[in-house]
Amino acid sequence: MRIAFLTAPEGVEQVELTDPWQAAVDAGHEPVLVSTKSGEIQAFDHLDRADTFVVDEVVGEVPVESFGGLVLPGGVANPDFLRMKPEAVAFVKDFFAQGRPVAAICHAAWTLVEADVVRGRELTSWPSLRTDIRNAGGTWVDEQVKICDHGPNKLVTSRKPGDLKAFCEAFLDVFAEEGGR
């Protein structure tokens, strides 16, 4: 299955990109780095610059139909940037409209809030997003991983880097259940 990993050009939390990416590779999937512009993205280790990664596809130029699922890594700056880009928000909305599975960790829930896809769903995130999720009509829970199947697709969410092992296992199980389209 091809899995889109949507990130901003700068600000993604590196471990929240690389651990799920490697888990997808190890499970036989094809991860694809999608960003708002071509070139490279700059990852961070909290507030410190980390590695750069080459962008495979540009959002708005690649159809959602070419992917079986979507992973949204966190980092504070990453989803804050993405939620201000209409093409990124539309990309996320399209996964929900087409019933494709989505996984988001940490601050990535901000992109889900902006896409207006949390209403009526239970999800988790970094605790500071609790009020944003509630204000967007979602129910925030403090759990390592939350799988919500309310709506047209399954949504897997997780709180923080310390939950990555459980997050990777959960999204890979859900994506396998949903099958590659």
Task: Report residue 115 as tokens.
Answer: 């896409």
Rounded CA separation 55/22 (Å): 16
Catalytic residue set? 107
Is the pLDDT at 181 greater than 50? The verdict is no
Class of domain 2-178: alpha beta
Is the pLDDT at 165 greater than 70? The verdict is yes
For 43-66, the pLDDT digits (tens) are 999 999 999 999 999 999 999 999
What are the distances in angstroms from CA 123 to CA 51, 89, 127, 169? 29, 18, 11, 17
What's the sign of the alpha-carbon dihedral 162, 170, 50, 42?
negative
Confidence of residue 21 (pLDDT cuts 50, 70, 90): very high
pLDDT at position 152 is 82
Confidence of residue 180 (pLDDT cuts 50, 70, 90): very low
pLDDT at position 178 is 85
Is the pLDDT at 179 greater than 80? The verdict is no
For 66-110, the pLDDT digits (tens) are 999 999 999 999 999 999 999 999 999 999 999 999 999 999 999
Is the pLDDT at 42 greater than 90? The verdict is yes
Task: Report residue 54 as tokens.
Answer: 């080459």
